[in-house]
Structure 1
Amino acid sequence: MGQAQSDESRPPPSHEELTKALASKFADKCFTPLELYSLKDVFKSLSDTEQHIRYLKEDTIARFLEIPDIVGVSPILFQMVSYIGAFPFLQDAPAVLGLEQMVMVITIMTERYRRVLANDAADRRKLLFKSLAVHDRKLSAMDSDKGNTESVETDVTMAVHGGTQPLGFHIDAAGDDDEEDVGQEEDDELVLAAFDSLNYIDVFQHGNSPTIHSAMIPADNIRKLIMLLLLIAPLDSQESLASHASRVSGSELESLRTTAESILAAFLNIETAPGIKFPRFNAVIQSSMPFIFNGFTALFEHFLFSKNLDFHKHIGGQESTPSLPPQIIQPLLQDTGSIMNINVLCQLSLFIPGDSLFRKVRLLYSGDDDGFSMGSFETKVFNWRAPTILLVSGIRLTDEPGHKSYGAESTFLSTLPPKRFPHGSKGETERLTFGLYLGHHWKHTHRECFGGEDTLLFQLAPVHDVFRASTINKDYVSYTKHSGATSHAGISVGCPPPQPTQAYRRSSTIALGSTSLVLDSSFEFGCFTHDYTTRGGAFQTSPARKFDFQDRFEITSLEVWGCGGDDEAKQQAERWAWEAREAEARRKINLGTGDIQADRALLEMAGLIGTNRSGGSMG
């Protein structure tokens, strides 16, 4: 009884005591002894000291992680870690980055906290948003070129002498906000889970941390962060970011910026909005780029590998084994294409797991090299028995008043329904890039489409957008060649399959799905449709562009990339060899009439051989 009274009279733990307790728990549960030893060694070698306090500065972290100066993202990254370092007392941000604070940062940035805290991905997204947000309604105090936080030296002095936190993390009083902000939860589930894990849930006070109401991430800040995230997307834990230095110079840097602009366009229109608010931030990431922050894991795990540790030496300092030759690193992208490059590959990794892409994709078909024909497409692609990625790029067809189309363009447009939506983005002659991720192998369509629920329809430029497959409507992909029984040939994604009918009953227009992509049989023209009002198609509508739009374009490049390794390539080569042998056997076949030329003519009439065929079919 007396013990209980003693516990009740004990004062509640201080912020410092709880922070130490949580850091200790993270260290024990989320790191191996070797990783923890390495972290302490790295921190000791990098830290500065002021008033007996060890801490890390912005330039020290940027230099250690090898963040390229030309991207200008170091102040933004330091703002993030200074905020997260204050976890779970986010109202005290920015934090002085001591060892305990770095334990918080690394645990959260590498998602190791999942071993201790019960939560879901939305909790971390909210925390990352707050760490990036500028809490000034007029954005007047933000100057991203000069940095987003005050100097660490000032922060240390304030911490030692009990000063107040800098105003950079202060939030103005709420005013008139967008409707999308109404009803947003302000509680930090991740913080609540942290206090719950320490059995100090009573310490948590709702609203004691900076609110996301009316806070936003400036457009320029998110642009620079996206460039960094594209750079680190393929990074391994012990791989130097400096090894990718070629990606931030010359034409490669320009390509990186262009890709980042397309991703930024998914979040906001920079001409009309100064920044991104949480509802938009959360919705776009959840649907169109769920893996965008995965690169932080490898980047911040660099702190867990000390260069002072050498396992090839005995205590006496002598090497136990001879040094191994340097390992040859396989390139991220083995082939080159008109559309695909390293930055596009990293953009794809935002919504397709990177372990299926980096060092795994190979070019199967290129219209530039193999010809823009369904025959070439079928020969190169149909034998690949693993997932594929189709990329198509083109120039938007103009629909200015008075413009008339002729020839093939007029023929293609005549097959589209007369109902016309506005463009999906600005620019009359803008370059567009769409794509398809297909987990099933390609085949001819007869009465039903092929594909599965993992099929993805997406746009890469000028706006990044991902349209996920429906679990109800199965009209995913169709591949139809010209025949007497079909009226419309080509590749269709998200459209009803063409039904064989009698000639007089065929429709003159293509039945477009509510969210669909159509490529004509000659691979000259394409059309992407987004009927947001109707919905209910094989692919979901965009969470970012909640309006009807349609983009008709002339195809300039078409590529198909196979996702897989050497086993898939070997199987494809074996099937090609089999078809070649079958074709040769058919060429030499003798029907026994004694007239080889007559026999050959008969086989050609039957469609079994001929100059326009590539050989036998596995279908």
Structure 2
Amino acid sequence: MGQTPSHEAAHASKAELTAHLADKFARRCYEPLELYSFKDNFRSLADHEGDVRYLKEDTVARFLEVPDILGVSPVIFQMVSFIGAFPFLQDAPVILSFEQMIMVVAIMTERYTKVLAKSATNRRKLLFKSMAVYDRKLSEIKSQVPASDVDSSQRDPRSHALGFAVDQAGDDDDAAEDDDELVLAALDALDINDAFKTGDSHAATTHGAMIPADNFRRLIMLLLLVSPLNPQESLSAYADRVTGSALNSLRATAENVLSAFIDVERSPGITFAQFIEVLPTNFPYLFDGFNPLFEHFLFSKNLDFSKHKSSIVTPASTTLALPPLLQEKGQILNLDILSQLSFFINGNDLFRRLRLLYSGADAGYSMGSFESKVFNWRAPTILLVSGTRLEDAESRRGSEGVFYDSLPPQRFPNGSGPDRDRLVFGVLIRQPWRVTNRECFGTDDTLLFQLSPTHDVFPASTMNKNYAAFTKPPATHPGISFGSPPPPTTSSSRHAPLRNLGPVSLTLDSSFEFGVFNHDNTSRGGAFSTSVSRKYDFQERFSIDDIEVWGCGGDEEAKIQRERWEWEAREAEARRRVNLGTGDIAADRALLEMAGLIGSNRSGGSMG
């Protein structure tokens, strides 16, 4: 393909410029063996019409092994047909020929950064455009009518036809702010003059565009499925996650994720403003699963590495079997929740690395058993708690009444509709647990989050350091809390003070029966930031169903914890033998004398 001199770039055709950019991507983004494999795959997959060789929708879906039952193949093909037009996005959709697929794979695997080093650090805007459609009528309704005034029965998220964000959108008031940095960086790499850029860079606008809710729901289900995927690992290995009850679980988890962007009962789709605001905090790793999925194009099954004994590359058929994604089964954590966690916690810390340290269902719902199981882990931990929302009632009795009486009288409304009353909250703590006296523990990388029925992440702020507290008696309200100051010691007055709930906080009582999540959006100064999507006050009071703590770490962390447990077991046995006797009175007396407990002027009591 060669180099295109700067003075010739302005006069080159789009086809020539596309070929030049594809050549740059091919040379700089791929290793020689990867490029050879890509060519072999394309040659074996492509259909042809005349001299044009191209990939069809079903070919792409079949090669990537996208499950038919998800119905996501049209969404994926829309995305790649749009991205294949890069950097001339106004020409989308395009035929997926060899040069277009070179750029698709480079962008979907984030290898483009080797060429466009000065571009934006992410591809979020381009991905939004590749999924979006433009519907003037729906856009005007959404911008003019408050969501609360719109009858959800009149909204059908599937009512608009499949299309692209590059459809004519009328006047774009945001054009000055709609420059796509990836596009501009690509044009800079091609030495295209400013006049050429002005004519093309604004064609694929985000103004008035939205991603249909149903399309995005299907894509989320695929992203949950591919999130743990390794390069060269077949997606068919996870076929059992899209059948029967597992498929229902996958769909329910996707619904929780989707609700972080919009209320599907009131909105037909996701605008760019919603997309770009929610993504960085709640889903920084949402699209990471595309990387290994599209890297399948860079490994050819037709290559026989057994003929090259000196090669360091191992074919997929001979790779060692990987350990399971989740080595132990929990009451709360399953593969779908694990994938959901990987959308905001790096998957390298999660998949095949979590160990169940504490389960209330197995070890008992008490702070004592919690402490004995969790406190020896010297690596990050993830606490998960599930519960059922408590219904409002005029009077309450027993332990529920005691819990309610300890809460401040101010009561915010629930955070979600009454038809979704199963709640799941969690916390990522990177410091070892300890008993709290006057100061909380945790660091500014602690994460408080909600997984169900709405996905939400509340990063630690720097306003104060009340990140985590494990409080035992004589505190007025012992228990576990996140985002609230430690409770004071027992008051001398007859009435204990009310719980001091932080602006954004999660509190579990010491009996592990009840919990409360508080989100005071109007307050400032909390240990955790408020929600980026739910900008209002809400509070969830719930009865606890299950509590789990999972340790993040490998064999070394597990070994340290096991040795600590064994040491404590030996110490406990030694104390028991001293207290109860071994049956050998002389030996026990000698041991106690050595410890200075009896003999001389001391009396050890009767040993008989």
Q: TM-score range by the shorter chain?
A: 0.7 to 0.9
Q: CA deviation at 1:595?
A: 7.7
How far apart, CA to CA, are the structure 2 residues paired with 1:168 and 1:350?
25
3-state SS in 2 of match to 1:460: strand
User: CA, structure 1 residues 11+133, in 2 after alignment: closer, same or farther (shift >3 Å)?
Assistant: closer
How far apart, CA to CA, are the structure 2 residues paired with 1:91 and 1:439?
46
1:224 is aligned to 2:210? no
Give the letter for the 1:552 counterpart: R
1:210 is aligned to 2:204? yes
Q: Which residue of 2 aligns with 1:611?
A: none
Question: Which deviations, in whole Å up to 9, do the C-alpha atoms of 1:121-148 show, x marking residues without a partner?
Answer: 66511110000001223469x9979983
User: CA, structure 1 residues 598+75, in 2 after alignment: closer, same or farther (shift >3 Å)?
Assistant: farther
User: CA, structure 1 residues 198+421, in 2 after alignment: closer, same or farther (shift >3 Å)?
Assistant: same
Determine which of 306, 310, 313 is the counterpart of 2:300.
306
Give the letter for the 1:550 counterpart: Q
**Structure 1 residues 37-48: aligned runs within 5 Å:** 37-48=36-47
How far apart, CA to CA, are the structure 1 residues paired with 2:178 and 2:324?
44
Q: Which moved more, 1:467-476 or 1:89-98?
A: 467-476
Give the letter for the 1:173 counterpart: G
Question: Which deviations, in whole Å up to 9, do the C-alpha atoms of 1:467-496 show, x marking residues without a partner?
Answer: 00013411100000122xx21100010001
Retained in 1: the 8 A contact 2:479–2:507? yes
How far apart, CA to CA, are the structure 2 residues paired with 1:291 and 1:130?
18
User: CA, structure 1 residues 8+388, in 2 after alignment: closer, same or farther (shift >3 Å)?
Assistant: closer
**Structure 1 residues 191-590: aligned runs within 5 Å:** 191-202=183-194, 203-205=196-198, 207-313=201-307, 327-399=320-392, 402-427=393-418, 430-483=421-474, 486-500=475-489, 502-504=491-493, 507-589=496-578, 590=592
User: CA, structure 1 residues 132+74, in 2 after alignment: closer, same or farther (shift >3 Å)?
Assistant: same
Q: CA deviation at 1:403?
A: 3.7
How far apart, CA to CA, are the structure 1 residues paired with 2:498 and 2:297?
60
Q: Which moved more, 1:463-472 or 1:245-254?
A: 463-472
Give the letter for the 1:455 counterpart: T
User: CA, structure 1 residues 73+324, in 2 after alignment: closer, same or farther (shift >3 Å)?
Assistant: closer
| Number of aligned residue pairs | 564
User: CA, structure 1 residues 171+67, in 2 after alignment: closer, same or farther (shift >3 Å)?
Assistant: same
Give the letter for the 2:168 counterpart: I
How far apart, CA to CA, are the structure 2 residues paired with 1:391 and 1:453?
19
1:173 is aligned to 2:182? no
User: CA, structure 1 residues 183+283, in 2 after alignment: closer, same or farther (shift >3 Å)?
Assistant: farther
Give the letter for the 1:329 counterpart: L
3-state SS in 1 of match to 2:428: strand
Question: Which deviations, in whole Å up to 9, do the C-alpha atoms of 1:573-600 show, x marking residues without a partner?
Answer: 1111111111122223343279867799
Retained in 1: the 8 A contact 2:57–2:77? yes
Give the letter for the 2:323 counterpart: Q
How far apart, CA to CA, are the structure 2 residues paired with 1:120 and 1:192?
8
How far apart, CA to CA, are the structure 1 residues paired with 2:131 and 2:15?
24
How far apart, CA to CA, are the structure 2 residues paired with 1:143 and 1:418?
40
Give the letter for the 1:474 counterpart: K
3-state SS in 2 of match to 1:474: coil
Give the letter for the 1:382 counterpart: F
Q: Which residue of 2 aligns with 1:56?
A: 55
How far apart, CA to CA, are the structure 1 residues paired with 2:387 and 2:166?
45
Question: Which deviations, in whole Å up to 9, do the C-alpha atoms of 1:4-43 show, x marking residues without a partner?
Answer: xx99799621111111111111111111111111111100
3-state SS in 2 of match to 1:37: helix
Give the letter for the 2:554 counterpart: G
How far apart, CA to CA, are the structure 1 residues paired with 2:207 and 2:279?
19
3-state SS in 2 of match to 1:266: coil
How far apart, CA to CA, are the structure 2 residues paired with 1:532 and 1:143?
30
Q: Which residue of 2 aligns with 1:33?
A: 32
Determine which of 587, 595, 598 is the counterpart of 1:592.
598
User: CA, structure 1 residues 33+9, in 2 after alignment: closer, same or farther (shift >3 Å)?
Assistant: closer
User: CA, structure 1 residues 73+541, in 2 after alignment: closer, same or farther (shift >3 Å)?
Assistant: same
Question: Which deviations, in whole Å up to 9, do the C-alpha atoms of 1:312-335 show, x marking residues without a partner?
Answer: 1269xxxxx999966222100010
How far apart, CA to CA, are the structure 1 residues paired with 2:132 and 2:83?
12
TM-score computed with the length of structure 1 as normaliser: 0.86
How far apart, CA to CA, are the structure 2 residues paired with 1:170 and 1:530?
40
3-state SS in 2 of match to 1:308: coil
Identity fraction in percent: 58
Give the letter for the 1:495 counterpart: S
Retained in 2: the 8 A contact 1:398–1:428? no
3-state SS in 1 of match to 2:512: coil
Question: Which deviations, in whole Å up to 9, do the C-alpha atoms of 1:516-551 show, x marking residues without a partner?
Answer: 000000000000000000132000000000000000
How far apart, CA to CA, are the structure 1 residues paired with 2:281 and 2:7?
48
How far apart, CA to CA, are the structure 1 residues paired with 2:315 and 2:85?
45
Q: CA deviation at 1:169?
A: 4.1
Retained in 1: the 8 A contact 2:165–2:209? no
How far apart, CA to CA, are the structure 2 residues paired with 1:469 and 1:443?
19
Retained in 2: the 8 A contact 1:438–1:451? yes
How far apart, CA to CA, are the structure 1 residues paired with 2:161 and 2:605?
81
The unaligned stretches of length 5 or more in structure 2 are 140-155, 579-591
1:74 is aligned to 2:73? yes
User: CA, structure 1 residues 228+500, in 2 after alignment: closer, same or farther (shift >3 Å)?
Assistant: same
3-state SS in 2 of match to 1:588: helix
User: CA, structure 1 residues 172+326, in 2 after alignment: closer, same or farther (shift >3 Å)?
Assistant: closer
Retained in 2: the 8 A contact 1:397–1:429? no
Give the letter for the 2:253 counterpart: T
Q: CA deviation at 1:453?
A: 1.3
Give the letter for the 1:189 counterpart: E
How far apart, CA to CA, are the structure 1 residues paired with 2:319 and 2:425?
40
Retained in 2: the 8 A contact 1:123–1:188? no
Q: Which residue of 2 aligns with 1:89?
A: 88
Retained in 2: the 8 A contact 1:122–1:282? no
Query: RMSD of the alignment, in Å?
Result: 2.8
Q: Which residue of 2 aligns with 1:163?
A: none
Q: Which moved more, 1:26-35 or 1:218-227?
A: 26-35
TM-score computed with the length of structure 2 as normaliser: 0.88
Give the letter for the 1:312 counterpart: S
